[in-house]
Amino acid sequence: MDFFRQKKNKYLVLVLVITIFISICILVFSRISEKTSGEVFFIKEYNKPEINWEILESPGFKELEMF
């Protein structure tokens, strides 16, 4: 049984090392691509919302008024 357990552990360690290696590669290459892309971030300007206060004076809305 120890032979199979050692073999299983060997493969699990190999899978762990490969997973860590792939993760590190992804992080490194994503950082490199961010620096070389040359993109500039723009802040989108939103329009100021306009509130139509006249709707509060409509007869239909006044019927909903509780107080």
pLDDT in tens, 14-31: 999 999 999 999 988 887
Q: Has this prediction a pTM greater than 0.85?
A: no
User: What is the mean pLDDT for each group of 10 consecutive residues in the chain (67 residues)?
Assistant: 75 94 89 61 82 83 70
Q: Are 41 and 47 in contact (CB under 8 A)?
A: no
Task: Give the number of other CB atoms < 10 A from CB of residue 58.
Answer: 9
Q: Which residues contact 61 (CB under 8 A, 6 or more apart)?
A: 55
What pLDDT is stored for residue 16 in this prediction? 95
